[in-house]
Structure formats: structure tokens, C-alpha cells
Structure 1
């Protein structure tokens, strides 16, 4: 009997720990529910973000194939986004996770008026207020919330970096989604780029893009005898063809300042933008809150926790660029052959 009481205390203690851990996990294992999440990205630039999202969801207790299923769609044609969202609605998914401004706008447009609006969590988009998907950053007021990318706002910084590494630069190319396609983030990026170029006394040469396939054709028009640098805005259509611009920039020995770590790893001279794997983690945390009963209209939109400045030294050597120590002291990550 003397050993019985301590044993009961130990058993009770272990039981309490198990209960607490189960609650913290945020998963639905205990009730046997299987959640369904539709993921839609415009273009192929978001793989790392989606990977980070899924990994964090697993850490939170959502095991793919066990208590959660994902339907991941990478859509190249903007006109197909709404159709994919309607498929998600027909499948009665519990939540839609989006990447890019057009994908988020399509998700909001198709879900906002249905009897039970499906929550939408964006992992990357331009200004969500200007884009019309929320009313306020702190209190969205719709079925949409998520993580803003700042990719549009960073357009000015990318031009400033080009001027910093080459103070004599005068002509810079900027591929962008053609205005007729009505991409809010792309249009805003061009507006910001024009103002910044005027201030820096740079002649900004715009190259409109109408489709992902068009990127290769446009990239071949950007030559060293025409421009001295290339810059990306917050433009998911251009990002989907980033490889073509990177290859052309290296061939023409032109510095390209891109919008992400991944693009720099693929050969862009410099990348400045969000660490998308971290944005995916942030998006998963918001998703968890909603699946546990949180109201997206009351969950504040987050800003990226991590913005990185990345330099590809292999590309620098290939195109004959040398950085001074002052610039390199600002860099978060240096990519080399090592």
C-alpha cells in the first residue's frame, strides 16, 4: 500500500503531460477528423514556401495522409486560378492556402459570397488592402488573412542596390506583367520602380510579359548593349520565368537583382526578398489557429519575419563584378562554389 500512492502520483503526472502535449499540438488526432487544405500558387516560384508550410504543419501535429490532406496546384495561367478555387469549393476543403496576389484575389472572389466562406490564408502577396482582399491589417474583416511578402515594396531597394554596386549605371531593364493582365502587385511594382529610377537618375526600360512562355522571348531582348542592369518587381508571372532572365543576364554579363533567395541560388547576381521557408512557417501557424476555431477576420496579417540580402559570388566572377567590403558587410548570405 505504501508503494501504491507514489505510483498513482506518477501515473497521474504522466497522464497530465500527455493531455497537455495533445492540446499544444493543435491536431485533430483525438477526434479522428481529417482536414483538407487546398494550396494554390501562381507560378513555380513557391516550392520552398510550400515545403516550409507542410513541415511546420507536421510539427503542429497535422500528419499528411493521416489527419490532413493537401491538394497542391501550381497554376501558370492566371485565367485558370478561379476554376481551381471552384474545384476546392466543390471538394469542401477546410481552408485554402494561396501564393501570389492573383491567386489570393481569385480565392477571395470565389469564396466571399458562399454560405460558409472558406478561410483563405495567403503565404505571399503584395498589399492585401490595395488588392481588395482585406479591410485592415490588424483586423482583416473578411475570410482572408496571412503573410504579406513586401516583394512589391522592395522593388525600390533592388534598384538602389544596383546603383550601389555600380554608381555609374544609367539604363536598367525591368520585365513586368503586362498592364492589360491587371496584376495589382506588378502594376504597383512598376509605379515604385519609376519613382525610384527618377530619383536615382536611371533610365528604366520596361519589358511587358503576357504569359509564362513569353518570359523566354522577353529575356532574349534584354542585351548588354541595351541595358546595364536588370531588376525584378513583385511579379509572380516574371518569377515563373526567372531562369530565362538569369541565364540571359549571365550570358550578357549584366547584373540582375532578383526578388528571392531561391533566384540568387539559381544564378541571379543578387537576391533581396523574403525567406519563403519562414513565410511558410508563419502561414502554418495562422492555419493552425483557424483550424482550431480562430476567426480569420480577426487574425492580423503578419509581415515577413525574415528578409534576406543574398549574393552569388560564382555569378559575380562570371560577369566580372567585384563587390567592395562596405556592400558585403550588409549581405546576409554569400553563395559560392564551396
Structure 2
């Protein structure tokens, strides 16, 4: 019996050892290479979850901060300072630049042109913004993840939970290219569904407050599009929505935990993971020009806590289709 046990145990131990060795190989391969320097540009605090997911995923790929990778970070909203930071990254000959937001990607492409420094972006619409001509076979030393595409379906989900919705208010500050592009997509989707939009164009927080307080009486919901000023002042939007007892919905995950009733669009953590995978391939030797721009996955989220706050009921069949749900006390992914 002891011999049989030993005969079985040895192969099992050997197999376990092989698994451990194989799991360690990515880190070993990375540590054997040079130390990489990566530029990191995130002008918008709303993208912090994507940014942190990128950094954590890079670590999982074997890039360990302080050992074989370092980051030069730029987190200012000032466009002149972003441009200056990007030029410093180029002067220091970083191995790659990672950007979040449309303005950052646009500036990075321009400033790195002819330098050989690849760029990985997360942005709304790379083709619509002119960063690449096409998603596949773009031939540019820049690639990444684009977030556009979920807005029409987000409107359909709104009608699924609120069939009587006919009039939607859209607060927007045109402080980024993504604001114009996401409003374009919203208008196209609304026209197909017979929904009327009232766009509240604002430039300051005071104008945002005034615009929300002056919403037409028959507005059925508020739709959040990609706009820095409006997004950074979501509480102002949410407070007015609660006062009016109307839902706030979006084609993105940002602010889902803070009061959106429904979101259909990218999950920020998954977006960061996608970008890190592309960065790993580029640092491993694959030219950015050979990597197609990827479109993020879309997920349906329902916030029952926010719904209850305005006395709103979500049909059971919609809940069954949700990818993640915030209930009264917990977040329950489906």
C-alpha cells in the first residue's frame, strides 16, 4: 500500500511543481528583459477605475513596479500641461504611452509622430475622432480600446424599464471630443425610437445647476453622456433627478454606484484589462500597427437602491438579464 501511495504521490507532486514553474515563467521572462518606462496620461478622475485596472493587469503580466517597469504619470486636466508632459515623455524615450480620454489620445498621437514610441489608448470613438482611419489594418503606431457603440441599446433598455418615456434631458459641456460624438450617437438612437431630446448646454457648474432646475416639466429621464464637467458634478445631476423623481441612465459604468438607475456600456475594470493586454503585446515586440483597435464589451447594470430612492420599479425580466445589480445593501453580479 505504501508503494502504491508513493507511486501516485510522486507524479502528483511533479505535476504540481510543473504548474508552479509554468505560472512563474511570465514574471521570469519579464525580469530577464530591460526595465521598461511607460508614460501614463489620465486627465479625468472619472477614469480612475480603468487606470487602476490597467496598472494591476500590467503587474499580472509580469511588469512589477520598481523592478522591471516604472511609470511617468500625468494627471492634470490642463491641456497645455498635458502636452508638455507628453513632450517630456518623448524626450525621455519612454517605451510606450498609455492614455485615457479622447484629448489625451489625440495629443499623444500628434506628439509621438515619427518618434517610434507606441501609444495605447482608451477613448470613446477612435475613428470618429480621427485618431485612426479604421479599426483593423490602420497602420498607425497607436492602438487601444474604444468605448462607443452602446448608446442606442442603452436607450432601448431605458424604454424597457420605462415604456412611457418620450422626453429625455441631456446635460452636456462640450469640453472633450467624446461629448460631441456621444451626443451624436444619442441623437441617432433617439430619432429611431421616437424619443425627444432636450439638450442643456452648459459651461460651468452654476450653469449646470440652472439648466437642471429649468428642465421642462414633462422630462421623463436624464441621460448622462461623456462630458468632463457634467460627470465630475454628477451629484448635482442626481440631486435634481431625485427631487423630480426621474431616473438617470447612461451608456457607461461611471457613477453607476452613485445613483444611476441603469447603465449599459463598458465596465471600466474590463477596459483597463483590455488595454493592458495590448500594452503587453507591444512591449513584447508586436508593432502597434499590427494590433486592431478593440471595442469594449458592454454590460447591463441595474441599481435597485437608486430606483427605490425615487419610487421606481424594475421589471423582474429585466433584472434577470442584468450582468450586475446593486441591491439595497450589496452589489450582486449576475
Sort the TM-score into its range (normalised by shorter chain): 0.7 to 0.9
Which residue of the partner structure matches residue 301 of structure 2? Answer: 310
Pick from 188, 198, 206: which aligns with 2:199? 206
Q: 1:27 to 1:184 in 2, by over 3 A?
A: farther
Matches of residues 101-140 of structure 1 in structure 2 within 5 Å?
Answer: 101-113=102-114, 116-122=115-121, 124-140=122-138
Q: 1: distance between equivalents of 2:25 and 2:133?
A: 32
Which residue of the partner structure matches residue 74 of structure 1? Answer: 75
Task: Name the SS for the 1:293 alignment partner.
Answer: coil
Q: 2: distance between equivalents of 1:302 and 1:273?
A: 14
Does residue 251 of the first structure (1) align with residue 243 of the second (2)? yes
Deviation at 1:237, TM superposition (A): 4.8
**Deviation readout 1:258-307 (Å, 9 max, x if unpaired):** 23334111111112221111111111111111112221111111222x32
Give unmatched runs, 5+ long, in structure 1: 1-12
Which residue of the partner structure matches residue 29 of structure 1? Answer: 31
Task: Name the SS for the 1:244 alignment partner.
Answer: helix
Are the equivalent residues in 2 in contact too, given 1:40–1:73 (CA < 8 A)? yes
Task: Name the SS for the 1:50 alignment partner.
Answer: helix
Q: What is the TM-score when the length of structure 2 is the normalising length?
A: 0.84
Q: What is the TM-score when the length of structure 1 is the normalising length?
A: 0.83
Which residue of the partner structure matches residue 333 of structure 1? Answer: 324
Are the equivalent residues in 2 in contact too, given 1:26–1:292 (CA < 8 A)? no
Q: 2: distance between equivalents of 1:20 and 1:334?
A: 37
Deviation at 1:248, TM superposition (A): 2.9
Q: 1:202 to 1:20 in 2, by over 3 A?
A: closer
Q: 1:21 to 1:154 in 2, by over 3 A?
A: closer
Give unmatched runs, 5+ long, in structure 2: 1-14, 330-334
Deviation at 1:80, TM superposition (A): 4.1
Does residue 242 of the first structure (1) align with residue 234 of the second (2)? yes
Does residue 279 of the first structure (1) align with residue 251 of the second (2)? no
Does residue 221 of the first structure (1) align with residue 211 of the second (2)? yes
Which residue of the partner structure matches residue 192 of structure 1? Answer: 185
More deviation, 232-241/58-67: 232-241
Q: 1:102 to 1:191 in 2, by over 3 A?
A: same
Task: Name the SS for the 1:96 alignment partner.
Answer: strand
Task: Name the SS for the 1:167 alignment partner.
Answer: coil
How many residue pairs match? The answer is 313
Which residue of the partner structure matches residue 165 of structure 1? Answer: 161
Are the equivalent residues in 2 in contact too, given 1:155–1:234 (CA < 8 A)? no
Task: Name the SS for the 2:38 alignment partner.
Answer: strand
Q: 2: distance between equivalents of 1:277 and 1:26?
A: 26
**Deviation readout 1:147-166 (Å, 9 max, x if unpaired):** 1112xx22222322332222
**Deviation readout 1:8-54 (Å, 9 max, x if unpaired):** xxxxx9999999666534754224x2211111123111111111111
Q: 1:142 to 1:37 in 2, by over 3 A?
A: same
Which residue of the partner structure matches residue 321 of structure 1? Answer: 312
Are the equivalent residues in 1 in contact too, given 2:202–2:208 (CA < 8 A)? yes
**Deviation readout 1:80-138 (Å, 9 max, x if unpaired):** 4323322322332211101111111111111113xx2311001x212212222223312
Task: Name the SS for the 1:218 alignment partner.
Answer: helix
